Amino acid sequence: MRFAYQGVKRLERIIGRHSVDGDRPFFDPDGFPWVPELENNWRTIRAELEKVLEHHDRLPNFQDISRDQITITQDNAWKTFILYGFGYRQERNCARCPETARLVESVPGMLTAFFSILAPGKHIPAHRGPYKGILRYHLGLIVPQPIERCRLRVADEYRTWREGGSLVFDDTYEHEVWNDTDGVRVVLFMDVVRRLPAPVSWLNTLIIAAIRRSSFIQDARRNAERFDLDQLFADT
């Protein structure tokens, strides 16, 4: 296991050196051609989100879907509504949010897409993502005031969300989240494949395919599918 871990670490250094977008905590959203389409349609996405939020208390917690998240969250304050999980489409959820599904499906290299819903006072402690071959994207949908009290730290850099605005970052840098407001914060959360030149991109594709088949992802997939959304939305 140690050998495998060291191999991934060496690969991540190679990915960092060859990344088309560089190797840094945050990236300029203007450098990603698909961002404007999402930002231009954020109100459409939010309208579908608001229908989902009518059932906020019954939505799954993040750790209910991805068991490994229990190391950073154990309460009911981080809810999710998953459209895609590492390439696996959640058909019923996408049917409930067809425009959001269409928009995320238009993003090159999109692997994961869901609504990330943080309750007032929620703190997600410092942690890092599992693999550098992927970049993380947030589109602000509901950002409570004061916005400076709802923030994200990646490495030693801090950002706040804004409604209709984007953040792109490398989640393999240590990062941390606070919602120190009285309101709910919601973003459209996506993971996309990092842009790399060949042959590094070929290797990255193989690693992502292996992760997709892992028990970690397969367990999360089964957990996402077991929630009875027909019952959840029965009164809509």
Q: How far apart are CA 188 and CA 115, in angstroms?
A: 5
Asked if 25 and 173 touch (Cβ cutoff 8 Å), the reply is: yes
Q: 168 CB contacts (<8 Å, ≥6 apart)?
A: 26, 27, 28, 29, 31, 32, 35, 135, 136, 137, 138
Give the per-residue pLDDT at 234: 65
CATH architecture of 2-232: Sandwich (2.60)
Q: Look over the chain and give the mean of its residue pLDDT values, rounded to a whole number.
A: 91
Maximum average pLDDT range among 50-59, 185-194, 203-212, 222-231: 185-194
**Residue 100 pLDDT more than 50?**
yes
- Please tell me the predicted confidence (pLDDT) of residue 62: 83
Of the candidates 97, 66, 63, 93, the one whose C-alpha atom is nearest the C-alpha of residue 77 is 63
pTM for the structure as a whole: 0.93
Spell out the long-range contacts of 30-38 with Cβ–Cβ below 8 A and sequence spacing 24 or more: 31/168, 32/137, 32/168, 34/106, 34/107, 34/108, 35/137, 35/166, 35/168, 37/103, 37/106, 38/103, 38/104, 38/107, 38/139, 38/166, 38/188
86 touches 112 (CB < 8 A): yes
Calculate the alpha carbon distances from 3 to 68, 124, 173, 210 in Å: 22, 30, 22, 17
For the segment 109-159, what is each residue's pLDDT rounded down to a tens digit?
A: 999 999 999 999 999 999 999 899 999 999 999 999 999 999 999 999 999
Q: Is the pLDDT of residue 6 over 80?
A: no
Q: Are 72 and 124 a contacting pair, CB within 8 Å?
A: yes
